[in-house]
Structure formats: structure tokens, C-alpha cells
Amino acid sequence: MDASLLVIIVVVTALVFDFTNGFHDTANSMATSIATGALRPRTAVAFSAVLNLVGALLSVEVAKTISGGLVDDARITPAIVFGGLIGAIMWNLVTWYVGLPSSSSHALFGGLIGATWIAAGADAVHFAKVVDKIVAPAIAAPLVAGIVAMLATYLTYRLTKRARKSVTDKGFKAGQIASAALMSLAHGTNDAQKTMGIITLTLITAGTLAPGAEPPLWVILSAAIAIALGTYLGGWRITKTLGTGLTTIEAPQGFAAQTSAATVIMASSHLGFALSTTHVASGGIMGSGLGRQRDGVRWGVAGRMAAAWGLTLPAAGLVGALAGWIASLGTWGVVVVAVVGMGVSLAIWLLSRREPVRPEHVVDEIAAQAETHKVAL
């Protein structure tokens, strides 16, 4: 296959991943705002899409980590990157279909590492960098966000104990709009850069860019637009899980969860840590639930999510390894991987149409959950 055509295929595939990242992770930014009624669903996703686009233009530190640190760019080819992307996209679609907020970031890392490992050898993966920039933040960031959200929620309820609930709810819902904006900016700053880094890595392996180069302007803009479009699509299956499945969210909790998560993500983006915004957002929500009451988290749902988190890197890595190996065999390999990838994607989409989850479904479930919570009190 002509090298230029292969690069174009990989760039388009990377932008498709970016699009799936957007709708897979919309819930990270907006689930709590929708759950408390601070923003209407369609308004929330449009608001988040615009701020994701803006956030993607603020930094390239995470992109440089991915394009110049995780794997040996002198030993891989665009075909290997293509295989890794297919592994990431497949995992994103599967977890979206079942409504599990797994990490798009870890799916991407797993796919790339698996494809590189099987096609170029284990020593082509910089495992020290993987531990330093991915594994350590994956463990620390959600814990930090959860602890901060728990303390903030506890203090908030203590300080507003004597105030009228209608007054405090109104104030915190207004605050949630600001915290949702910050969270969307943070998501764009961290997650869109991962696609920028992958495209830049592809251009380096193809000899179009020099090793260590920063993402060109067209890469930054295309990644920003792709994640914004995906965010606008909504990802309602995962929004339902984060907005109603983990805990019954009230306005003070939503504000605490969003603010703590956004702060952790922005700080990590500045340092070049390619962490999972899904893990951080979920940690913030669980922390806020514990801050309101000790039994405020539905641990069954949390356990399913944790299992998906643990499986993401190896599962995407296995698919990426197989796809990367086949794609590296030549033109026919790239074609086979592309056809299988499109076929599986279409099948998942058709299955999702049989039992669609729409914004009104999420709103109805939130209203029913809130009524049940009032009765319980």
C-alpha cells in the first residue's frame, strides 16, 4: 500500500477514535449537572462540546508524552499504529453499548502498547514511561479527586445545614454550570491531546515529521473538532450510569465532584500526565456520595466499573496486538483489519438501536430516583 495512503487511513482512524472518545466521555463532564437539573441534557452536551473544543487548544504537553515517550517511534510503522487504534475503538464501542464508563485513554494506550509489543518486540515499549505517565496517575488521580470531593461535600452539607434547601440548591446549581465548564475544558485539554499525540506519532514514523516534533496546527484543530462533535452526540448510555447508577446526586455533591475532578485533570494535563478523565470523574462522584452519607455509593455498580477499568488495558491490548500484527503483514492485512473493524462497529451500532437510550430516558430515571430518595428521607 502506498505510504501516503496508509498515513491518511491512520489519521482518519485516529479522528474516528477521537469522536468515540467524545461521546464515550460526555458523561465525565455533564452527568452530574444533568442529574441535578442544573443543565438540560441537550444544552449540557452542546455547552460541553464547545468547551471541549476550546480546551483542546490550550496545551500540547500530553500529546508530546504520547508521540515521544510511550513507544520507540523508530521501530514502529503507521500500520502498527492503525492496529492499536482499532483495538481502542472496539473497546470504546463495547463499553459504551453496555453503559460502562471505562477509560478511552487506557483503551488507546492498551491498543498502542499491544500492537507495538507484538509487531516490534517488548523492548519497543518504554515501560518505565508507561508506569510513570500512565499507571501511577491512573491509581493516584481518582483517589485524590475522590478524597477532595468527599471532604468538600461533607463540609458543604455541614456549613449549609441550617440554610433552606431550595436556596442552597439554587446556588449550587448555578455553581455547577461553572464547574461543568471547567470540567469540559479539562477533558478537552487532556483527552483530545491523546489523539493529537497518536497522529503526530504516525507522522513521525512515516518520516513526515522529525522525532520529538510537536503536533502541527492542522492536527490540533482536527482533533479538537472531532472530540467536540463526539461530545455533542451525547453518549447517553454512560451518562445514565454516572448520573443515576453510582449515587443519588444532589446539587452540592455535583458541584464538589466536578470541581475536584476538573482541578486534578487540569493539573495533570499541565504536567503531561495522560490520565483517565473517566477514572477521575467517577472518583469524584463516589467521593461526593460518601461525603453526604456513609452508604451513599452503590458499590455493585462501582464494582462493575472497577472491573471494566482493570480489563481495559489488557483487553484493548489484545485486540490491538492482533490487529497490529495483521496490519503489519502488508496491504491485505490493513484491508482485513479495516473491514473487520467497520463490521464490528456497525454490528454494535445496530444492536444499540434495538434498545436506544435517549436524553428523555435519563431525565425520567433521574426524576424517579429523586422521588424515591425523598420518600426514603
- Quote the pLDDT of residue 321: 92
- Quote the pLDDT of residue 225: 93
Neighbours of 61 (CB within 10 A): 19
Tell me which amino acid residue 81 is: V
CA 336 – CA 340 distance, rounded (Å): 6
Check pLDDT > 70 for residue 219.
Answer: yes
Check pLDDT > 70 for residue 10.
Answer: yes
Distances from the Cα of 82 to the Cα of 79, 99, 167, 242, 326, angstroms: 5, 26, 53, 31, 10
- Quote the pLDDT of residue 243: 60
- Quote the pLDDT of residue 374: 47
> By percentage, how much of the chain surpasses pLDDT 70?
90
Check pLDDT > 50 for residue 293.
Answer: yes
- Domain range summary for the chain, segments of one domain joined by +: 3-136+189-248+306-369
- Quote the pLDDT of residue 174: 83
- For range 124-142, the mean pLDDT: 83
| Model confidence pLDDT, tens digit, residues 326-342 | 998 888 999 999 999 99
Q: Tell me what the pLDDT averaged over the chain comes to.
A: 82
| Model confidence pLDDT, tens digit, residues 22-67 | 887 776 677 777 777 788 888 888 888 898 899 888 877 778 777 7
Contact partners, residue 129, CB within 8 Å, separation at least 6: 65, 69, 70
Instruction: Report which of residues 242 and 196 the model is more confident about.
Output: 196
| Model confidence pLDDT, tens digit, residues 231-288 | 888 677 777 766 666 677 778 877 888 888 888 888 877 777 777 777 888 888 888 8
Contact in structure between 193 and 68 (CB atoms under 8 Å): no
| Model confidence pLDDT, tens digit, residues 90-129 | 988 988 888 777 788 888 889 999 999 998 888 888 888 8
- Quote the pLDDT of residue 348: 92
Closest residue by Cα to residue 220 from 25, 79, 18 = 18
Contact in structure between 45 and 63 (CB atoms under 8 Å): no
Tell me which amino acid residue 212 is: G
Out of 3-17, 142-156, 176-190, 268-282, which region has the weakest mean confidence (pLDDT)?
Answer: 268-282
CA 184 – CA 259 distance, rounded (Å): 11
Tell whether pTM > 0.95.
Answer: no
Contact partners, residue 109, CB within 8 Å, separation at least 6: 70, 130, 134, 274, 313, 316
Closest residue by Cα to residue 112 from 76, 136, 59 = 76
- Quote the pLDDT of residue 245: 63
Out of 4-18, 69-83, 151-165, 294-308, which region has the weakest mean confidence (pLDDT)?
Answer: 294-308
